[in-house]
Structure 1
């Protein structure tokens, strides 16, 4: 398809295995994927030349938790409209509460499957 640009997704997680797995799943589904293993590096991707269509961030990150990252993203004009999904191995009720409190748009429980990750992503991109 000429002129088609795939949706841009940024994944933020300090676990390199999770990053690789999520990147593979989403890339194979046709998405353009960038990964960051720190919240600091993720800012270069989020506020870079191409605005992401979706951000997936782990709750348990060093220096700044994922829910704090969501709050920061939602406060900034340049990123306030970007959908953000939280991921975590926390109990689902706790993750849902963090999602609501932080202003995140949704969540994916870890360990996630190909199907659960794609369903969550697609529901926030379409």
Structure 2
């Protein structure tokens, strides 16, 4: 299949479905959505996606049953499935994986973590469709190896600063509000004070200027938020 990778999001909660679809489209992928299990099964057979993001708790047919049917179907068994669930017990995770899910993500999750897992599955189903590296001016970010370089020198970043920089580098020039960064980096269902964003942006700036001579690539947009470049 040529063109952008196609992702099917199956989630019965409208707000969650909208947030997932928005963020996945922002990655440059095409998205189709379903609100129920039986609807998802029909859509997969009509328009096979490259990856399915599938909620466990669905009306009509559960996510587990959808996954089971897809993985036992000759034409759909190889489509990667990322299961989303509020069930965090090991027995539930094992059940999800044994049903055939390729990955299992516990709610609440950060959008950045889910997108990273989505990229991993896309590398399997669409090799070459997903880039592992982002570059902006003299900064290079390797998502697969979780490493950042500036002017050829490796920079040490914590997990949150790495996710922040990933968001900035995926959309250079875009102004991100604190609320948008909270949703993207920490996750919509996790309460974090917006001032926490300022703290981590400060740490990221310090790390990126660790050489002492480089300019600060992140600009503060008064009353709006932050942008790269």
Q: Same fold (TM over 0.5)?
A: yes
Shift of 1:96: 2.0
Label 1:92 to 1:117 Cα distance change in 2 as closer, same or farther (>3 A): farther
Instruction: Select 2:65's aligned residue among 68, 81, 101.
Output: 68
Label 1:124 to 1:44 Cα distance change in 2 as closer, same or farther (>3 A): same
Instruction: Select 1:32's aligned residue among 30, 41, 44.
Output: 30
Root-mean-square deviation (CA, aligned residues, Å) is 1.4
1:8-32, Cα deviation, whole Å (9 max, x unpaired): 0001111111100100110000110
1:70-97, Cα deviation, whole Å (9 max, x unpaired): 1100111110110011001111524421
CA distance in 2 between partners of 1:68 and 1:42 (Å): 11
CA distance in 2 between partners of 1:95 and 1:44 (Å): 26
Unaligned runs of 5+ in 2: 124-229
Instruction: Select 2:44's aligned residue among 40, 43, 46.
Output: 46
Number of aligned residues: 122
Q: Is 1:87–2:84 an aligned residue pair?
A: yes
Query: Equivalent residue of 2:42, what SS?
Result: helix
Task: Check whether the contact 2:55–2:84 (CA below 8 A) recurs between aligned residues.
Answer: yes
Task: Check whether the contact 1:85–1:108 (CA below 8 A) recurs between aligned residues.
Answer: yes
* Larger CA deviation: 10-19 vs 62-71: 62-71
Instruction: Select 1:102's aligned residue among 87, 99, 103.
Output: 99
TM-score if structure 2 supplies the norm length?
A: 0.51
CA distance in 2 between partners of 1:9 and 1:96 (Å): 22
TM-score if structure 1 supplies the norm length?
A: 0.89
Partner of 2:3: 5
Task: Check whether the contact 1:10–1:35 (CA below 8 A) recurs between aligned residues.
Answer: yes
Partner of 1:14: 12
Shift of 1:63: 2.1
